[in-house]
């Protein structure tokens, strides 16, 4: 594939359709004045392409952990509220975990809140409040995996690395390999290297932002918008689908999904352990509770009548350091 063509097409799309989000704002020198008469969109996009302006890695980490498996619409108000309460990593490091858990309500996956809190304490204790600038050191921080480490490198430090999230895996798997990212070939080191090699020099920040938006708005998981996609004429998945007699890859994917979903009986989320874990934490956000009262609450309001299962969920929450038990009292502290 002609990477220069790929870059040009995607950047042109990004300048027209890319999202303006609060965690993408950059700090810039006071002497650098914005031109009068330019729109907010133009100013923001110009900042994305400017390496002399930087983002606070603390803001990047917060947004990335909040956005993991959570919709942007749910994150937007929480991101602003969280930063208002703890504007710096030092502020968060000195907060109580229970306070962080309460603020996290509505975002789900409560372990992320604990990881974020532990990460802040580690940065303050071991790095004097300054985030590491290497992938190796970032990976040592609690809750920071390869994706989050690369997000900090690209979005906070302007490094030319691929931020390999779900959206970006999907785009490259379809575009380059003609398959879905769950296929084994899309999980190899060679595949990751291909994503890294596609990063345009000096533009790792806007490139990854553009890919993320494209995956969220166009190259969507179950229903990609192939008919209006600006990359449809160079996408291997789309071109292969047409060879098979389909009008687009989206039509082929829909046909394949109908076959798969017809054989699957999906478990209701409201009967899963993850759902009950969330309801337990939600109840404890209101305050400490006697174990029996907590059990009664789950039985009456959420249909968890199996005491053995309740005990197992409580035990796992303790192991995950999300709750503590003193005597018969359960709390977030």
56-101: per-residue pLDDT in tens?
Answer: 999 999 999 999 888 899 999 999 999 999 999 999 999 999 999 9
Instruction: DSSP for 259-295, please give it.
Output: HHHTT--PPPGGGSHHHHHHHHHHHHHT--EEHHHHH
Those residues with Cβ within 8 angstroms of residue 298's Cβ, 6 or more apart along the chain or in another chain: 276, 279, 280, 283, 304, 310
Residue 33 has pLDDT above 70, yes or no: no
Other C-beta atoms within 10 Å of 265: how many?
5
Using a 10 angstrom Cβ sphere, with 0-12 exposed, 13-18 middle and 19 or more buried, the burial of residue 95 is middle
Global pTM reads 0.81
Answer whether 252's CB lies under 8 Å from 242's CB: no
The chain-wide mean pLDDT, for the chain, equals 88
Tell me if residue 180 is catalytic: no
Tokens of 46: 């110009």
Q: Where are the alpha helices (DSSP H) in the chain?
A: 3-17, 40-48, 57-67, 72-85, 89-93, 97-103, 111-127, 135-138, 146-155, 166-172, 189-197, 204-217, 236-243, 249-261, 273-285, 291-302, 307-319
Least confidently predicted of 43-47, 187-191, 194-198: 43-47
Dig out the tokens for 229 from the structure: 């996609």
pLDDT at 259 over 90: no
Query: What percent of the chain clears pLDDT 70, i.e. is strictly above it?
Result: 92
Q: Give the C-alpha separation, 203 to 193, whole Å.
A: 17
Mean pLDDT throughout 257-277? Answer: 70
* pLDDT at residue 194, rounded to an integer: 93
Tokens 């890319």 found at = 18
Which of 17, 25, 35, 64 does the annotation list as catalytic? 64
If you search the block for the tokens 């009967």, which residue do you land on?
271
List, in order of start, the domains of the chain with CATH numbers: 55-155 (1.10.340.30), 166-261 (1.10.1670.10), 269-331 (1.10.10)
pLDDT above 70 (res 186): no
Give yes or no for residue 216 having a pLDDT over 60.
Answer: yes
Spell 237-264 as b/e; 16+ CB within 10 A means b: bbebbeeeebebbbbbbeeeeeeeeeee
How far is 57 from 60, CA to CA, in rounded Å? 5
CB 223 within 8 A of CB 252: no
Q: Could you tell me if 223 and 250 are in contact, meaning their C-beta atoms sit under 8 angstroms apart?
A: yes
Mean pLDDT of 233-248: 95
Q: What is the mean pLDDT of residues 219-228?
A: 93
Distance CA 225, CA 240 (A): 16
* Res 168: pLDDT: 93
- pLDDT of 27 reads 72
Q: In the chain, pLDDT over 90 holds for what percent of residues?
A: 64
């Amino acid at each position: 594939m002609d990477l220069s063509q790929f870059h040009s097409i995607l950047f042109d799309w990004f300048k027209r359709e890319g999202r303006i989000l609060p965690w993408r704002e950059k700090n810039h020198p006071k002497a650098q004045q914005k031109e009068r008469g330019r729109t907010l969109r133009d100013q923001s996009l110009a900042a994305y392409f400017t390496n002399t302006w930087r983002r606070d890695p603390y803001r990047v980490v917060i947004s990335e952990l909040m956005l993991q498996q959570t919709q942007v619409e749910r994150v937007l108000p929480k991101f602003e509220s969280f930063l208002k309460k703890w504007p710096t990593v030092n502020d968060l490091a000195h907060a109580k975990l229970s306070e962080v858990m309460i603020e996290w309500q509505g975002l789900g996956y409560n372990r992320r809140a604990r990881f974020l809190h532990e990460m802040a304490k580690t940065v303050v204790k071991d790095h004097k409040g300054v985030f590491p600038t290497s992938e190796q050191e970032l990976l040592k921080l609690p809750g920071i995996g390869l994706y989050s480490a690369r997000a900090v490198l690209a979005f906070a430090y302007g490094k030319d690395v691929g931020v390999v999230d779900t959206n970006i895996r999907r785009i490259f798997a379809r575009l380059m390999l003609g398959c879905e990212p769950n296929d084994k070939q899309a999980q190899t080191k060679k595949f990751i290297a291909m994503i890294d090699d596609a990063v345009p020099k000096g533009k790792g920040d806007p490139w990854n932002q553009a890919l993320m938006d494209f995956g969220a708005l166009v190259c969507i998981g179950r229903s990609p918008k192939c008919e209006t996609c600006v990359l449809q004429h160079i996408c291997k998945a789309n071109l292969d689908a047409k060879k098979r007699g389909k009008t687009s890859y989206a039509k082929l994917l829909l046909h394949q999904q109908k076959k798969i979903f017809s054989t699957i009986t999906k478990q209701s989320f409201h009967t899963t352990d993850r759902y009950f874990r969330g309801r337990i934490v939600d109840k404890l956000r209101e305050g400490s509770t006697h174990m029996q009262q907590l059990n009664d609450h789950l039985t009456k309001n959420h249909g968890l009548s199996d005491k053995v299962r309740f005990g197992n969920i409580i035990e796992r929450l303790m192991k995950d350091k999300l709750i503590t038990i003193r005597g018969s009292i359960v709390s977030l502290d």
